[in-house]
Amino acid sequence: MSSLNPTLVADGVWRLSANAGQDILFEGLWPLPHGVSMNSFLVKGRECALIDGVCGWDGVPQTLLAQLERMGVRLQDIRYVVLNHLEPDHTGWLEPFARLHPDFTLCASARGLGMADAFYGLAQERRAVGTGDHLDLGGGKVLEFHEIPNVHWPETIATWEPGTGTLFSCDAFGSFGAIGEAAYDDQLSEPELALFEEESLRYFSNILGAFSSSVERALRALKALRPRIVAPAHGPVWRRDPGRIQSWYERYCAYGRGPAEPEITVIWGSMYGMTERAVRSVLEGIAAEGVRAHVFRVPQSHVSPILAAAWRSTGIAIGAPVYEYRLFPPVAAVLDELARKKVVRKKVLAFGSFGWLAGGGGKELAEIVERYRLGWELLPPVEFPGAPREEAQARLREAGRGLAREVRAASADSGSTRAQPRQVSPS
Ligand SMILES: Cc1cc2nc3c(=O)[nH]c(=O)nc-3n(C[C@H](O)[C@H](O)[C@H](O)COP(=O)(O)O)c2cc1C
Ligand SMILES: [Fe+2]
Ligand SMILES: [Fe+2]
């Protein structure tokens, strides 16, 4: 964990932050090739409120304490700690913090306060806050609260400071990617912003995708506030163009309803190279229609970037040999993860090699689609015994073309004008 200098967000609003690096899996699961930041905010009226915190990974609470010290804020000046969301990536520092400075009031939703008990057993004075409540810090600084349940947990709220128009949105509008000394969109170059666009989609699909409809409801409610500054708990603070991250998130929610971009995510695995040869033919067909493909081999690729690519794609092509009368296991495992994250309403082509009996893979795929109610439209599968001969190659190319045409037509029908697609790295 690395610590940064505190920076001024707006009049009386400060940003404190810590980065976690590549050595950590977020949620014990998601790789962080570019790290992740955890942002905490200090609002100073006559009294001070600290909004959200950092995780309990090493160096806590020193990370925050050192930054407060650099700002000249004494612990006893912190009268309120606002917890928008109780997940330990924002609250892990609380216990050691409370040992050093026990005299503060904990503000969270009623459900959040219950979780604070369950996780940390704190004895502080507490105040349950919800939509319509406010907290007057004096000196013209008032905090207002908005419940945004299931963004990402059920207790989540957002905090709004109307004086500066700053929205402390916690996980909403968050992004993977560590923050250097450039913490604001106005300090980031276009290539850096492009990386955060990619990392915000990966964050959204990995962390929030399963709650996409709740996120969409929250986006509408928060947009009505017309924030001038969007200050999420992960990633950059958006103050030159707060609409940018909002429009990205709106687009990610729209992908969740489908159809998404006219793109195809190809997920494949192969033991002896038979299905691998088929992948090439399917890709030729897709390319012949001018449709972009994101290609991932499993189990070599982690599911995290696969989820991001699948989330933005209208089509999915699944290449898997038959294995013990079912799908090749690493392919089945990835499909199960996509299903749990509610990657729904896709156009799907399955293909692959078998040794002695076709149909096992297709049967299991249909089971997964049914079990999770994925609403996937399954195109006729292409199966072939052993190696794909010229006849099978022709069918595979044609199936790739067919999927690409369907994907293009569905995306065009959806009528949305979306941002230029950006590169999502294949495995
Ligand atoms: C452990 C194992 C289990 C298999 N199970 C089946 C099966 O249930 N049904 C079948 O038709 N072929 C089965 N096969 C044969 C493969 O599907 C066949 O070799 C195929 O060509 C492998 O394609 P690949 O090189 O793309 O992995 C199995 C092969 C292995 C190694
Ligand atoms: Fe969270
Ligand atoms: Fe978080």
The CATH number assigned to the domain holding 103 equals 3.60.15.10
Is the pLDDT reported for residue 18 higher than 60?
A: yes
Are residues 235 and 272 both part of a single domain? Answer: no
* CA-proximal residue: ligand 1, atom 1 (nearest): 323
CA gap 278, 393 in Å, rounded: 7
Instruction: With respect to residue 328, please indicate whether it lies within any of the assigned structural domains.
Output: yes
The predicted-structure confidence for 232-254, as pLDDT tens digits, reads as follows 999 999 999 999 999 999 999 99
Question: How many angstroms separate the alpha carbon of residue 147 from the centre of ligand 2?
Answer: 14
Is the pLDDT reported for residue 416 higher than 60?
A: no
Are residues 82 and 99 both part of a single domain? Answer: yes
CA gap 233, 19 in Å, rounded: 11
Question: How many angstroms separate the alpha carbon of residue 64 from the centre of ligand 1?
Answer: 55
Q: Among 201-205, 265-269, 366-370, 413-417, where is mean pLDDT lowest?
A: 413-417
Percent of the chain with pLDDT over 70: 95
pLDDT at position 317 is 98
Atom of ligand 1 nearest to the CA of 326: 8
CA gap 316, 365 in Å, rounded: 12
pLDDT at position 195 is 97
Q: Which domain holds residue 345?
A: 261-414
List helix spans (H) across 25-162: 62-71, 88-91, 94-100, 110-120
| Residues having CB within 6 Å of any atom of ligand 1 | 270-276, 321-325, 353-357, 360, 386
Instruction: With respect to residue 174, please indicate whether it lies within any of the assigned structural domains.
Output: yes
pLDDT at position 254 is 97
Ligand 1 pocket test: which of 354, 356, 364, 382 has the largest number of ligand atoms within 8 Å of its C-beta? 354
Question: How many angstroms separate the alpha carbon of residue 21 from the centre of ligand 1?
Answer: 40
pLDDT at position 225 is 98
Are residues 148 and 43 both part of a single domain? Answer: yes
124: phi then psi, degrees, rounded to nearest 5: -65, 160
Contacts with 24 (C-beta within 8 Å, 6 or more apart), sequence order: 32, 57
User: DSSP 3-state assignment of 369?
Assistant: helix
The predicted-structure confidence for 381-400, as pLDDT tens digits, reads as follows 999 999 999 999 999 999 99
Q: Report the number of distinct structural domains present in the chain.
A: 2
Instruction: With respect to residue 424, please indicate whether it lies within any of the assigned structural domains.
Output: no
Question: How many angstroms separate the alpha carbon of residue 280 from the centre of ligand 3?
Answer: 39
Is the pLDDT reported for residue 365 higher than 60?
A: yes
Percent of the chain with pLDDT over 90: 85
Atom of ligand 1 nearest to the CA of 271: 27
- What's the whole-number mean pLDDT along residues 260-288? 98
What is the rounded radius of gyration, in angstroms, for the C-alpha atoms of the chain? 24
Question: How many angstroms separate the alpha carbon of residue 83 from the centre of ligand 2?
Answer: 12
Instruction: With respect to residue 423, please indicate whether it lies within any of the assigned structural domains.
Output: no
Ligand 1 pocket test: which of 268, 271, 272, 331 has the largest number of ligand atoms within 8 Å of its C-beta? 271
Atom of ligand 1 nearest to the CA of 354: 17
CA gap 172, 177 in Å, rounded: 15
DSSP H or E run through 48: strand 48-51
Are residues 325 and 231 both part of a single domain? Answer: no
Instruction: With respect to residue 420, please indicate whether it lies within any of the assigned structural domains.
Output: no
* CA-proximal residue: ligand 1, atom 27 (nearest): 271
Are residues 39 and 186 both part of a single domain? Answer: yes
Instruction: With respect to residue 425, please indicate whether it lies within any of the assigned structural domains.
Output: no
Specify the DSSP class assigned to residue 357: -
Show which of 228, 257, 286 is a domain's final residue.
Answer: 257
Atom of ligand 1 nearest to the CA of 278: 26
Which pLDDT band holds residue 2 (cuts at 50, 70, 90)? Answer: low
Are residues 191 and 74 both part of a single domain? Answer: yes
Ligand 1 pocket test: which of 267, 276, 324, 363 has the largest number of ligand atoms within 8 Å of its C-beta? 324
The predicted-structure confidence for 68-94, as pLDDT tens digits, reads as follows 888 889 999 999 999 999 999 999 989
Is the pLDDT reported for residue 426 higher than 50?
A: no
Are residues 234 and 334 both part of a single domain? Answer: no
Instruction: With respect to residue 118, please indicate whether it lies within any of the assigned structural domains.
Output: yes
* CA-proximal residue: ligand 1, atom 17 (nearest): 354
Show which of 202, 225, 257 is a domain's final residue.
Answer: 257
351: phi then psi, degrees, rounded to nearest 5: -150, 160
Beta bridge partners of 352: 383
pLDDT at position 181 is 81
Show which of 188, 223, 257 is a domain's final residue.
Answer: 257
* CA-proximal residue: ligand 1, atom 19 (nearest): 355
Location of structure tokens 């399954």: 378
Instruction: With respect to residue 244, please indicate whether it lies within any of the assigned structural domains.
Output: yes
* CA-proximal residue: ligand 1, atom 3 (nearest): 323
Is the pLDDT reported for residue 222 higher than 90?
A: yes
pLDDT at position 55 is 84
Which pLDDT band holds residue 1 (cuts at 50, 70, 90)? Answer: low
Please tell me the number of the ligand nearest to residue 52's CA. 3
Atom of ligand 1 nearest to the CA of 277: 26
CA gap 34, 36 in Å, rounded: 7
Cβ atoms of 2 and 18 within 8 Å: the answer is yes
Question: How many angstroms separate the alpha carbon of residue 170 from the centre of ligand 3?
Answer: 7
CA gap 93, 101 in Å, rounded: 12
Are residues 273 and 330 both part of a single domain? Answer: yes
CA gap 269, 274 in Å, rounded: 10
The per-residue pLDDT of the chain, averaged, comes to: 94
Please tell me the number of the ligand nearest to residue 39's CA. 3
Please tell me the number of the ligand nearest to residue 270's CA. 1
Question: How many angstroms separate the alpha carbon of residue 141 from the centre of ligand 3?
Answer: 25
Is the pLDDT reported for residue 427 higher than 60?
A: no
* CA-proximal residue: ligand 1, atom 30 (nearest): 323
Question: How many angstroms separate the alpha carbon of residue 274 from the centre of ligand 1?
Answer: 10
List helix spans (H) across 289-418: 303-312, 329-340, 360-371, 390-414
Are residues 248 and 287 both part of a single domain? Answer: no
CA distances to 1, 39, 106, 152, 327 from 148, rounded to whole Å, are 29, 19, 19, 8, 39
Are residues 277 and 245 both part of a single domain? Answer: no
Are residues 163 and 235 both part of a single domain? Answer: yes
The predicted-structure confidence for 91-137, as pLDDT tens digits, reads as follows 998 988 999 999 999 999 999 999 999 999 998 999 999 999 999 99
345: phi then psi, degrees, rounded to nearest 5: 55, 55
Which pLDDT band holds residue 61 (cuts at 50, 70, 90)? Answer: low
Is the pLDDT reported for residue 424 higher than 50?
A: no
CATH number, position 286: 3.40.50.360
CA gap 165, 237 in Å, rounded: 13
Are residues 182 and 34 both part of a single domain? Answer: yes
Distance of CA 301 to the CA centre of its chain: 18
